[in-house]
Chain A
Amino acid sequence: MFNYTLRRLLLAIPTLLFIALAIFLLLELSPGDPMADMPLTIPPEVREQMRLALGLGEAWYIRFFKWLYLFSVVEPSHVLANMTGLDWLAIEGQRIISFQTRSPVGDIIAQRLPQTLWVVGLSYIFGIMVAVPIGIYSAYRQYSWFDQAGTFISMVGFSLPTFFTGPLLMLIFSIWLGWFPIIYDTTLVVDSWYDFGLQLRQMAMPVFVLTLYNAAQITRFMRASMLDNLTQDYVRTARSKGMTEKVVVLVHVLRNSMIPVITVIALGIPTIFTGAIITEQIFRVNGLGALLITAIYASDIPMVLTLSVVFAILIVLFNLIADLLYAVFDPRIRYD
C-alpha cells in the first residue's frame, strides 16, 4: 500500500506539470489583454512599458518556467511561513503577483480560503450527514412514503440549479421575510455571541442551497448502493444466523454499500473548492470561486493559472485518496 501510494504520488508530478503547461498555453492563446482596463489616454509607449513591467515581454517558455519555480518553491515557502509563524522559512525576492491587485497570489488565496471552506465545506459535510441516513432508510423501506418523499426531494434538489434555488431563497427569506441578509459580509469578525448569530444567519442560505444539492446527489448513490446490496445472498445468511435487522443493515449491508459511495464523496471534495463558483457569486461570498471569476474577467493570468493548478492538484490528490479508501473498505482490493 505504501509503495503504491508513493508510486502514484510520483506519477502525479508529470501529470500535474503537463496540466500546468496546458493551462498556461490555453491562457496564452486566449484573447484578452491585462492592459484592457487601463484608461485609453495612456500613450502606447507607456502601455508597452507597463506590459514589460508585468513581465509580458519575455518568451512564453521563460515565463512558464519562472512561474513554475515561483509556484513550486517560493509561494509554498511563504504559505508555510505564515502557517507556522516562522518568518525565516519564507524565501525573499520575487513572488507571483496578481495583475489586478498587485499583491502576491498566495496571500490572496490564503485570505479567501476560509470563506470557501466555511460555506462550501460545511455544506458538503452537512450534505453527507443528511444523505447517508436518508439513503439507508429509503433503501431499507423501498417504495414507502418516506422513500417516495426522499426520492422526490432529491430529484428536485438535483435538478434545480443552485442559481435558481439561491435567488428563490433570497426572495423568500431576505426580501419577503427579512430573516437573513442578502450579502455575505466577509469582514465580520466573530468575537461575541451576537456576531456569532450574525455569522450563522448569513451562512444559512448559501449553506442550505449547497447542502440540498450535495445531499440530493449523495442520497441517490447511497440508496442505489444499499438496494444493490440488500438483495445479496449474504444478507439472507446474516438473517439466518439470527442477527437483528440493525446489525444486518448497519453492519453487513452498510459496509458493502459504502464502497462506491466513499469514492463518490472523495471525488466530490475538490468541487468544494471549485464547484461553488456560481453559488459564491449569487450570495456574494468572497471565496475562491468568486476570486477565480473576477480574475478571469480581468485577464489576471497569474491568478487564473495559479488557482487552476491548485484545483488540479486537489483533484489528482483526492483521486488518489479515493483509490486508497477503496482498498481500506474493500478487502478484495489490494495494491501490491
Chain B
Amino acid sequence: MPDGATPVLDVKNLKTVFATRSGEVHAVNSVSFDLRPGELLGVVGESGSGKSVTMMSLLGLLPSPPAEVRSGTVMLGGRDILKIGAEELRNVRGREVGFVFQDPMTSLNPVFTVGFQLCEPLRKHLGMSKAQARNRAVELLELVGIPDARRRLGDYPHQFSGGMRQRVMIAIALACDPKVLIADEPTTALDVTIQAQILELVKELRQKLGMAIIWITHDLGVIAGIADRVMVMYGGQVAEHGPVREVFANPAHPYTRALLQTMPKMHGARDAKLRVIEGQPPMLTRQPAACPFTARCAHAFDRCGRENPARRDIGHAHDVACHWDHTTADPLTAAEAPA
C-alpha cells in the first residue's frame, strides 16, 4: 500500500454516548484511526466492543436519541462530516461511503424489487434517468456475480438466497462508486462456503475498483486473509493497531494475545479444549478512568485500575494502549508510558 499518502478518511477522538435509564454508556471512547486510499482496514473485537457503533457514528446512522456523537472529527474529502448539514450528509452516504450490513436477510426491503432498491442511489446521487439507472444496475449485478442480471432486477429479495442477497447489498453499496466501503460483519450471517465466496468477491472488487475498505468482523481468520492493517477494539477503545503481519506475529496487548489464543488450532491434540477469555466485557456506564480490560487481564497491576492507558507507538507502524510491556513482561511506569 502507498504509505504516507493522504488518508481518505481520518477519524480523531471520536466519542459516542448512549443515554440509557441507568446513565450514559460510553460506547465509543476517543477512537482515532485513518484509512488510506485503496487500503483494507480490519476492525476486530468481541460483541459490544464498539466496532459497529464507531462506524455508524461516522455517518450519523445511529438512532438519536439515545445515541449522541459527542466529540471528535471525521475528515472525508477535506471536510469534517460530523459538522455538515443533514442534506450534505445524505450526499456522503451512499455516494462517498457505501455500507454493507451484517444480515442480508433483513437488510433489504422485502416489498420492493431488487432493481428498485439498486436504482434508488443511482437516481438520487448520480441523477440518472430510469433507463440509465436500470442499465447501470444490470452492470452492478453482473459485477457482483449475479447471473441473468437483467431478469433478476424485477425479483424481490425473498427470491434470492442469503449469499446472493449479500451480493446485492454489496452492489447497492458500490452503486455510486464510493471512495470508502464500510462492511459491518458482512459474512457473519452466512455459512462458511458462502463466506469464502463473498471474501473472494470483495478481494476481486477491490482490485478492480480500488476503493478503501473498512471490514468489521470478529473472525481473526478473515482479517488475516484480506486486511492490510488491523485495529483491535475493546470496551469502546482502540486496544491495538498496526499492519496485519506485525500485529499477528507480535501481539502487544494482552487482549489481542488472548484473542489469538482463542482461535482453534488445525494441528495438535484433538481433545485440546477451546480457549476462552474469562469474564465479561465491561459495562461502559462510567467514563472509564481505568483500562477497560483490567478485570480480565492476566497482567493487570495497580496502575491499570487507576489510569486508562493512552496509545503508544512501539515501532513498525504498530501502536498499543497498555501499561504492560510485552517485550520485557514488565509493568511500565508513568514516565515510560504516559497515560
Q: A241-B172, A331-B158 are in contact. Are A234 and B107 (CB under 8 A)?
A: yes
What CA separation (Å) do A238 and B158 show in the bound complex?
A: 17
Beta-carbon contact of A242 and B99 below 8 Å: no
The answer to whether B112 touches A255, judged by C-beta atoms less than 8 angstroms apart, is yes
- Whether, in the assembled complex, A244 has its beta carbon less than 8 Å from a beta carbon of chain B, the answer is yes
Chain B residues with Cβ below 8 Å from A241 are 93-94, 120-121, 124, 172, 175
Tell me if B125 is interfacial: C-beta within 8 Å of chain A: yes
Contact with B along A234-258 (1 / 0, CB 8 A): 1011111111100100001001100
> In the bound complex, how far is the Cα of B99 from the Cα of A233, in angstroms?
12
Given A243-B120, A331-B158, A332-B156, A238:B109 Cβ within 8 A: yes
Q: Are B110 and A331 in contact (CB under 8 A)?
A: yes
Is there contact, CB below 8 Å, between B94 and A240? yes
Cβ–Cβ < 8 Å partners of B61 in chain A: 236, 239-240
In the complex, the answer to whether B111 meets A242 with C-beta atoms within 8 Å is: no
Contact indicator A240/B93 (Cβ below 8 Å): yes
Q: How many A-B residue pairs have CB under 8 A?
A: 75
**Nearest B-chain residue to A230, judged by Cβ:** B63
Once the chains bind, are B92 and A242 in contact (CB under 8 Å)? yes
* Residues in A whose Cβ lies below 8 Å from that of B94: 240-243
* CA–CA, A148 and B54, complex, Å: 33
Q: Is A330 interfacial (CB-CB < 8 Å)? A: yes
The answer to whether B111 and A330 touch across the interface, beta carbons within 8 angstroms, is yes
Interface centre among A256, A330, A331 (most CB of B within 10 A): A331
Q: Does B169 contact A (CB under 8 A)?
A: yes
Asked whether, in the complex, the Cβ of B111 is within 8 Å of the Cβ of A255, the reply is: yes
How far does the Cβ of A232 sit from chain B's closest Cβ, in whole Å? Answer: 6
Residues of A within 8 A of B110 (CB): 234, 256, 330-332
B96 to chain A, nearest CB (A): 9
B95: A residues at CB distance < 8 A: 242
Residues in A whose Cβ lies below 8 Å from that of B98: 240
Check A237–B99 contact: CB distance below 8 A: yes
Cβ B90 vs Cβ A234 within 8 A: no
**Chain B residues bordering chain A, tally (CB within 8 A):** 30
A257 nearest CB across to chain B (Å) = 10
Q: Is B59 an interface residue (CB 8 A)?
A: yes
Number of residues on chain A facing chain B (CB within 8 A): 21
Q: Interface readout for A200-244 with B: 1 if CB under 8 Å, 0 if not?
A: 000000000000000000000000000000001110111111111
Q: Counting CB contacts under 8 A, is B101 at the interface?
A: yes
Q: Is the CB of B107 within 8 A of A233?
A: yes
Instruction: Tell me the complex Cα distance, A247–B94, Å.
Output: 15
Give the shortest distance, in Å, between A333 (CB) and chain B (any CB): 10
Please, which residue of chain A has its CB at the minimum distance from the CB of B172?
A: A241
Residues of B within 8 A of A244 (CB): 90
0/1 string, A8-29, CB within 8 A of B gives 1? 0000000000000000000000
Interface string of B137-171 (1 = CB under 8 A from A): 00000000000000000001010000000000100
CB < 8 Å: which of A233, A240, A243, A329 contacts B124?
A: A243
Specify which of A233, A330, A332 is in contact with B101 (CB 8 Å cutoff). Answer: A233
Contact A329 B111 (CB under 8 A): yes
Q: Which residue of A lies closest to B109 (CB)?
A: A234
Interface pair B90/A243, CB less than 8 Å apart: yes
Query: CB distance A234 to B99 under 8 Å?
Result: no
Nearest-Cβ distance from residue A145 to partner chain B, whole angstroms: 15
A241 to B101, CA, bound (A): 12
B20 contacts partner chain A, Cβ-Cβ < 8 Å: no
Alpha-carbon gap, A238 to B120, bound state (A): 9
How far does the Cβ of A123 sit from chain B's closest Cβ, in whole Å? 30
A308-333 residues with Cβ-Cβ distance < 8 A to B are 329-332
B:94-126 near A, CB below 8 Å: 94-95, 98-99, 101, 103, 106-113, 120-121, 124-125
Complex: A236 Cα to B93 Cα, angstroms: 11
Known: A242-B95, A331-B158, A332-B158. A237 touches B90 (CB 8 A): no
Is there an interface contact between A237 and B111, defined as CB atoms closer than 8 Å? no
Q: Mark A73-90, 1 if CB is under 8 A from B, else 0.
A: 000000000000000000
Q: Are B59 and A252 in contact, CB atoms less than 8 angstroms apart?
A: no
Q: Which of B59, B156, B172 contacts A331 (CB 8 A)?
A: B156
| Bound: A237/B124 CA distance, A | 15
What is the CA–CA distance of A134 and B99 in the complex, to the nearest angstrom?
32
**Which residues of A sit under 8 angstroms from B103, Cβ to Cβ?**
233
Nearest CB of B to A240, in Å: 4
Look across to chain B and name the residue whose beta carbon is closest to the beta carbon of A232: B106
Further contacts, 10 of them, CB under 8 A, given A234-B107, A241-B175? A234-B110, A238-B109, A240-B94, A240-B101, A240-B173, A241-B94, A243-B121, A255-B109, A330-B110, A331-B156
Can you spell out 28 A-B residue pairs with CB atoms less than 8 angstroms apart?
A233-B106, A234-B107, A236-B61, A237-B101, A237-B109, A238-B109, A238-B120, A239-B61, A240-B94, A240-B98, A240-B173, A241-B93, A241-B120, A241-B121, A241-B172, A242-B90, A242-B93, A242-B94, A242-B95, A242-B121, A243-B90, A243-B94, A247-B120, A252-B109, A255-B112, A330-B110, A331-B156, A331-B158
Name A's B-contacting residues (CB within 8 A): 232-234, 236-244, 247, 252, 255-256, 259, 329-332
Q: What are the 7 closest A-B residue pairs judged by CB atoms, nearest first?
A: A242-B94, A240-B99, A242-B93, A241-B94, A233-B106, A234-B109, A242-B90
